[in-house]
Amino acid sequence: MRQAGRYLPEYRDLRQQAGGFLDLCDNPDFATEVTLQPIRRYGFDGSILFSDILTIPRALGQDLAFAAGEGPVLGALPDLAAMTDRLNSGEMAGVLHPAYGAVSQIRSELPDATTLIGFAGAPWTLATYMIEGGSSKAYAATKAMAYGAPERFSALMALLVASVAQHLVAQIRAGADAVMIFDSWAGSLDRDAQLAWSAAPLRAIVERIRQSEPQTPIILFPRKAMFAARALAGIDPHVTLQVDYANDLKAAASLDFAAVQGNLDPGRLLSGQAEVAEATRSVLAQVDRDRSHVFNLGHGIFKETDPDAVHWVLDAIRSQA
C-alpha cells in the first residue's frame, strides 16, 4: 500500500530531481528506483510498481495534471468513440509503454524471491475521476450519469474494463508476478450499485486476464465494499481479497478467496513503537494460522509516517513467523 512515497526521504529527493509526479511515472529509470527504494530499506516480501491509476485515463486521451497540494486535475471527458479508437489502435498501450519498461527493469533488479505486483485502478474508481475531473466526496456527477444515463455510463465502464484488462496483461507479460486492482471508491455505492459497478467489472477483468494468463495471482480491493467482496468470492482459484481497515478481517478470511490481504490502519503507524507492535499483532490474530494471509495496511501509508514505524511493523510480524 504505497510502499514508496513522501514519508521516505530518498523518495522526496528523487521527486525533486525528476520534477513532477508524472515525470517519475513516465521515466522507467526513475520508476524503477522509486520501486526499489522501500525494498532496499525494508526487505518486503513483495514490491509494487511505482505508477498511478490515472495513467489509463491519460492514455485514453484525457488531460491529466497533478497540481501541487491539490491532487489530480483531469480535463473534460473525451468522446467515447475517440477513447475506444485509442484503445483498439494500440495508442493507449504506446502511452503506457514506459510502465511496461519499468516492470521489466524492476523484475530484473529485484531479488528472485521478491514478488513484483503490477496494478491498475478499477473501472468505477477510474470513472469517478474521469467524470468528476478529479477527487470528489459525493461523486455527484458520476452517479448522475450512472443512474440517469445508464447506457452511456455502461459504455464507459465497458471501455474501462477492456482498458484495465489490457494494461494488466501487458504488465504480466513484462514481468509482473501478480496484479492488483484498486477500487478505492467502491464504498461510495449502495448494495445494488456495488454489485453492478464494482463487482461485475472486477469479475469481467479477471475473466479477460484469464484468457491469456490462467494462473497469475490477482488481488481485488473493493474498498469499504463488502457487498462487492462477497459477490466476488469463489470466482477464481487464484484471486486474493484485499480488506481495508474499516472492515472485519476475520469475516473476510472466511470468504472463498485464495488468500486474504490486509488490514492495519495506516494511522496506527503514527503512534509509538509499542503501540504499533500491538496493533500489528492484533491484525495477525484475526486470521487463523492455517489460512493464507498476506499482511498489509488497510490503505496507503501517510506521508507523516516515521520510516522507522514500518520497521516496527515488520519486526512484529517476523517475530511471530
pLDDT at 20: 87
Q: What is the DSSP letter of 224?
A: T
Cell triple for residue 180?
492488483
- Split at pLDDT 50, 70, 90, the class of 93 is very high
67-76, 215-224, 270-279: segment of lowest average pLDDT: 67-76
Q: pLDDT tens-digit profile of 13-58?
A: 999 999 889 999 999 999 999 999 999 999 999 999 999 999 999 9
- What is the distance between the alpha carbons of residues 298 and 285, in angstroms, rounded to a whole number? 15
Which numeric CATH code is attached to 9-242? 3.20.20.210
Work out the burial of residue 288: count CB atoms within 10 Å of its CB; fewer than 13 is exposed, 13-18 middle, 19 or more buried: exposed
Q: pLDDT tens-digit profile of 161-173?
A: 999 999 999 999 9
- What is the distance between the alpha carbons of residues 61 and 129, in angstroms, rounded to a whole number? 14
CA torsion through residues 165, 230, 238, 118, sign: positive
pLDDT at 72: 95
Q: What is the DSSP letter of 298?
A: S
Work out the burial of residue 9: count CB atoms within 10 Å of its CB; fewer than 13 is exposed, 13-18 middle, 19 or more buried: exposed
Is pLDDT above 90 for 282? yes
Helix (H) or strand (E) holding 39: helix 28-42
Burial call 58-97: b when 16+ CB within 10 Å, e when fewer: bbbbbebeeeeeeebebeebbeeeebbebbeeeebbebbb
pLDDT at 65: 95
Report which of 88, 86, 116 is spatially closest to residue 102, judged by C-alpha positions.
Answer: 116
Q: Domain locations in the chain? A: 9-242
3-state helix, strand, coil in the chain (%, to 5): 55, 15, 30
- Split at pLDDT 50, 70, 90, the class of 1 is confident
Q: What is the DSSP letter of 189?
A: S
Per DSSP (E only), the strands in the chain are 46-48, 64-67, 71-74, 115-121, 178-183, 218-222, 239-242, 259-264, 293-297
pTM tops 0.85, yes or no: yes
pLDDT at 148: 98
- 1 within 8 A of 299, measured Cβ to Cβ: yes
pLDDT at 85: 98
pLDDT at 3: 86
- Split at pLDDT 50, 70, 90, the class of 320 is confident
